[in-house]
Structure 1
Amino acid sequence: MNETTAARVAAWHRLVAAKAVAPDRFAAAADSQLAGLDDATRETLLELVDAEPGADGGPVSRTDGTFNYIAAAVAEQTGVTGTEWLHRAFFHRLLEIWARNPDFSRTLRTAARTAGYREAAAEFDRWLDGPMTSDPDRRPLLARQSNPADAITHDAWCDLLAGVPRPSHIPPPTARALPRERLTAADVDHTAFSQTVEAWAGGALRADPGLDLPVAARLDVARDLWQRRRFAKVQMLEFGWPELTARATTAGGPKWLRLLESAVCGTADEAELPEAWRTLQADQRLVEFVRIRPAVQRDLRRRLRPGLGNRRCAVLPTGPERPVAVVHRRRSSQ
């Protein structure tokens, strides 16, 4: 962890602690907790104070869709997700929408300049995930603004915005950096699109280096939260199922623990497990615990060395223990 990351994470810890100790005086105390940080980072960290446990064991914010997307990416792509990867994902999505529906892209760019952008984008998500409706009065604000004549059906909107990141996941400053001119056929050709994305992302970041600050702050907090969540889960696993931790630290143990986690979560065939490991699935309490994210086989191997039993080889960093979670949206099939 470099000094900048450490400063951001430490400031976020102080904010969370200040709100927990004296919520009625939090607004007055927040400035002192964020001293020395740039305005974009200060604003971002204040938005993340509401992070709380979600349905599946990872971080979720009630108001910050960008953080929810980043936290989900960190959980699923450990060691891969960085600010460069995130910027490419955001610009790839924005330019993909721009190529298919320039009117909606212009609406996004304009809305991203207003204070109500996040709520408008979240309203659009709820509409996409809800039941199909032909009532034009129930369309969200962004749909009405970009398509006043209601020429685009609910299914067509779902097709345009299927997958992630969604508009609610993209930071407003990044959405404001959308190009004004329409992309050409050469720009969106599948063989050249990745170069177009790289060119636009690189150009936007060179024009405004501040685009990186809110993304980096969210990434730092997401990584810190998952690290703490993993540590807590490994600790609970050690004391709740010592026989499992003993097996996991023997030769081949990490492989079987990984397969057990995958089988319990329905992403692998339990027949691949040895009989001694398959019997563990009869313990419903263990099964429910293993299903809680994040997966722990890498962390368990680092934390317990073969032959050391339950001796700890790691120390929990100081700071607030706030296990939190990410909710994945599912598009309605109705």
Structure 2
Amino acid sequence: MAVLLDTDGLPRAERADAVTSAMHDSFLSSYIGPQGNGDAVSARMDEWTFGTTSLCQSAMRGIRVGRTAKQARSSPSPMLAIAVQGNGECAFSRDEEQHVLSTGQLIVYDKNTPYEFGWTGHGISLCLYVPLDDLGMSHDVIREACTRLHLSPLYQLVVDHIAGLGRNAVALASDPAAAGVGTASVELVRALVASAAHDARDRREAFATTLLTQIRAYIRLHLSDPDLTPEAIAAAHHISVRHLYKMCAAADFSLHAWITAHRLQGAHDELAGTTSQHRSIAMIAQRWGYSNPTHFSRRFRDAYGITPRDWRRMAGHGEQYSLVGGDMPGAGVRGSRGGSP
């Protein structure tokens, strides 16, 4: 976690300038100003990183934040912002439209168009920043979606996802699977935008992948569970095992190979990490869902061409090593239903 700003220890007269500086350093050029009584200005911003995405929690009082058309042109942003109001109310304006966001409401805004936020009382918001390049969607589709978010059946799903990230941000950001959580977040946002924009082709693709996206996110969060079975995954998503396999087959996605690859990759990275040297190989294997150390060693050697013990030794000495089969062995290969990860 990074604390981007905390004005509590600053004199009141310096707080607005501190917010301006923090916003310029972290979120591109914006204009900042007091909202109401300038003496009441306060702000704290915390940020967590999940792969290519980031989550920022802002607690604000008496602040206006925005970007002008000139600022958007001179300092373009590579990110799309998806904000959920966590507490209090926030006034938001865009394209001459005025909105008041209440607790639990979501808004998507492109930072390359003019906008303004304003907090008169104390408010907390969670903002997920997603790279526009990762979304791969046109500005026109995004612009249309921004005005129709509440019409999408995925609206509440994304609200709950971002709120869940905020509740568990510390643990998730420090987890080896943090990058996978970011990938799942990008896919959910893409599905929401496509659905809200009513782009027929993108919408069909979005709905076809949304459930699979949720399943991948669920698996990433439960990779350490030795009881992570197709039956458990299907039950958690209220579908049959048969439907689960049918959906995976349609997406050319092997459930077994994907789980195995991500478990092994997680163990591989942890074995090489300096913060896990006090853990035994058996402990690390168990953390990634392998209760049998011998089975884990065999799987690891089959995937990487080296034993876990030798890999830890080589990584500890900084030796170069080329992985057999790439960084994520088996992740894109269709496999059978049987076998143990």
TM-score range, shorter chain: under 0.3
Bigger helix fraction: 1
Q: What TM-score results when the alignment is normalised by the length of structure 2?
A: 0.21
Scaled by the length of structure 1, the TM-score of the pair is 0.21
Choose between structure 1 and 2 for higher RCO, CA contacts under 8 A separated by at least 6 residues.
Answer: 1
